[in-house]
């Protein structure tokens, strides 16, 4: 089943990272088969499922979630996607530590990602990426400054907006609505 079709079948609970933002994460970090990815803030499991499709067959995604109800929903969605072999939903607070070492990519989808930076810096392999997804520029600034304190290099922060085109006989123009601001993605590297 193609990923866009798969995501229509999943149960959505808390806010998700949309496919457009997940695609930017994978494009800018180069997530590939065989990679080890840590995803924090599992929520409904959408990002973990997206990433699980990219790291298989030899890689895995470990998704940290501290809320039992979200972890349960994420596990159900992982099972629905048939990716249990590649994705582990770990019921644990990432601020208390990251069990995995030599991690290729760590994603943080949480309100205060800067609290996870010291643990992430210890778990990333050299050249590994840490990606934060937050809705405000104030959060971006706090995150990036904490990364610099932990000797991580800020590469870029961006947002991705999508605006479809309306195609008609009498003219083509942008739609008056679209998926605009969802969050800022900050990419830092060890």
pLDDT in tens, 122-155: 999 999 999 999 999 999 999 999 999 999 999 9
| pLDDT at residue 11 in the model | 64
Q: Check whether the bond before 124 is cis (ω within 30° of 0).
A: no
* CA angle, residues 26, 114, 31, in degrees to nearest 5: 15
Into how many domains does the chain fold? 1
* Boundaries of domain holding 24: 3-189
Cβ atoms of 46 and 77 closer than 8 Å: yes
Q: How far apart are the first and last CA of the chain?
A: 35
Both tokens of 143, joined, read 């995150």
pLDDT in tens, 73-120: 999 999 999 999 999 999 999 999 999 999 999 999 999 999 999 999
| pLDDT at residue 34 in the model | 98
| pLDDT at residue 17 in the model | 83
Instruction: State the Cα–Cα distance between residues 24 and 74, nearest whole angstrom.
Output: 22
CATH number for the domain including 85? 3.40.50.150
Examine the pLDDT at 14 and tell me if it is beyond 90: no
């Amino acid at each position: 089943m193609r990923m866009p079709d798969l995501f229509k079948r999943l149960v959505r609970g808390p806010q998700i990272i949309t496919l457009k933002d997940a695609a930017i994460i994978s494009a800018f970090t180069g997530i590939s088969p065989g990679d080890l990815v840590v995803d924090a803030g599992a929520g409904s499991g959408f990002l973990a499922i997206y990433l699980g499709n990219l790291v298989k067959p030899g890689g895995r995604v470990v998704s940290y979630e501290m809320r039992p109800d979200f972890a349960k929903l994420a596990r159900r969605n992982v099972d629905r996607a048939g990716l249990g072999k590649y994705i582990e939903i770990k019921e644990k607070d990432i601020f208390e530590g990251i069990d995995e070492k030599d991690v290729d990519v760590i994603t943080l989808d949480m309100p205060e990602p800067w609290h996870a930076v010291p643990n992430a810096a210890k778990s990333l392999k050299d050249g590994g990426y840490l990606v934060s997804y937050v809705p405000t520029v104030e959060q971006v600034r706090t995150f990036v400054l904490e990364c610099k304190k932990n000797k991580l290099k800020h590469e870029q922060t961006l947002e991705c907006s999508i605006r479809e085109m309306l195609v008609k006989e009498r003219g083509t123009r942008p739609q008056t609505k679209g998926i605009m601001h969802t969050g800022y993605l900050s990419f830092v590297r060890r």
